Amino acid sequence: MKTPLYVPVLMFALLVGACSRPEAPQEPVRAVKLMTVSRSAAQSQFGYAGEVRARTESRLGFRVGGKLVQRPVEVGQRVVAGQLLAQLDAQDLALAAQAAQAQIVAAQTQRDLAAADFKRFSDLKAQGFVSGAEIERRQAALDAAEAALRQARAQGAVQGNQAGYARLVADGPGVVLAVEAEVGQVIAAGTPVVRLARDGARDAVIAVPEDRVSRLKVGQTAQVRPWTSARDALEPLAAQVREIAASADPLTRTFQVKLGLSADARVALGATVSVAFADDAGAAPAAPAPVRLPTSALIQATGGGKDTAVWVFDPASSRVNMRTVEVSGADGNEMLVVSGLKDGEEIVAAGVHVLSPGQQVTRFAAAGKP
């Protein structure tokens, strides 16, 4: 029986179909996280974190030593001029004042006695009973007694003042910043007891690194913005560099810079502020602000080189394309891109290693968000 001619043809077609490659699966549409490129003018400023302090801060202490028996003020308390801040046990000082008064009385008695003796011998000299040398001796004794009296009175005044020094009072209105001694403690003369911030002008104090302090000059202007929850809605305060430390801090190797705030600035003591300098004094015009990108947005460009690239999103086609960029350095967890991107462009911020040129993507939407 002959085999029909179409049978071999059919078998050959089936064999060829079995050996051909299967059709490649369609590339999935990936969801990517996008970010918009923008250059903020504030990024070109030099910014520092600072603290608001009083222009005048006094560490007040007693002029005499003794045991602290009273300290009626606490940290953060407002005080007025003449208000009692602390007091020492004044018993020994009072006894010393009494002893000085007794010495004054004794010196006064000796002086009166010398004066009476001089008068008596002067009368005798007028009658010719004593010589002139005797009168001179009596005059010298009177002068010595008067000098001793003046000395005793001066010492009595000193002891009286020291008795008053047992009370430490505020020399002006202000706020207590710190207390450095407690009741019962024996302190020496001059030991700080209370640190007082005087009312009046305020300063913003910052620490500037060694490589930037030379760019600042006394009188240079800056903007100070309080770090409050609504700081973005507040107008920055005008400030001016008032003082630059002559030497660096031995621990941090930074220079303390004080900026005077305007007289009408209403900023709480100890508040944290952000200080920004628009430009450096005497420096060349600032270069365009770099674009700050997270490290997750960068990838090595194809072609085996060391160029850095990003994926740029095309909203018209919903596809991504690789573009080479120039990186100038890093700032924390961000990379500074100086060229290759334009404001308003969208780039892929994460998942860059699983993309390919021309791949179609969709915007990533977090759970609960459209």
Same domain assignment for residues 302 and 269 = no
pLDDT of 282 reads 42
pLDDT of 150 reads 93
Instruction: Give, in order, the Cα–Cα distances in Å from 363 to each of 169, 331, 335.
Output: 68, 27, 23
Same domain assignment for residues 148 and 38 = no
Same domain assignment for residues 147 and 125 = yes
Residue that finishes a domain, picked among 249, 277, 305: 277
* Positions in the chain whose pLDDT score sits under 70: 1-27, 40-46, 228-234, 278-288, 303-305, 365-370
Residue 234: inside a domain, yes or no? yes
d(CA 346, CA 343): 9
Residue 81: inside a domain, yes or no? yes
Give the pTM. 0.53
d(CA 206, CA 223): 13
d(CA 322, CA 311): 5
pLDDT of 103 reads 92
Residue 238: inside a domain, yes or no? yes
Same domain assignment for residues 190 and 63 = yes
pLDDT of 19 reads 55
Residue 305: inside a domain, yes or no? yes
**Number of domains present in the structure of the chain:** 4
pLDDT of 281 reads 44
Residue 14: inside a domain, yes or no? no
Same domain assignment for residues 243 and 355 = no
Q: Which domain holds residue 261?
A: 46-54+200-277
Q: What is the CATH number of the domain that holds 171?
A: 2.40.50.100
- Tokens 């009188």: give the residue: 219
pLDDT of 283 reads 44
Same domain assignment for residues 100 and 228 = no
Residue 24: inside a domain, yes or no? no
Q: What is the CATH number of the domain that holds 104?
A: 1.10.287
pLDDT of 43 reads 44
Residue that finishes a domain, picked among 248, 277, 306: 277
Residue that finishes a domain, picked among 236, 258, 277: 277
pLDDT of 77 reads 93
pLDDT of 30 reads 82
Same domain assignment for residues 179 and 75 = yes
Residue 139: inside a domain, yes or no? yes
pLDDT of 266 reads 80
Same domain assignment for residues 102 and 154 = yes
174 contact partners, CB below 8 Å, separation of at least 6: 54, 78, 79, 196, 197, 198, 199
Same domain assignment for residues 96 and 159 = yes
Same domain assignment for residues 96 and 77 = no
pLDDT of 74 reads 93
Same domain assignment for residues 237 and 264 = yes
pLDDT of 241 reads 94
Our measurement of the distance from residue 293's CA atom to the centroid of its chain's CA atoms, rounded to an integer in Å, reads 29
Residue 141: inside a domain, yes or no? yes
Same domain assignment for residues 304 and 342 = yes
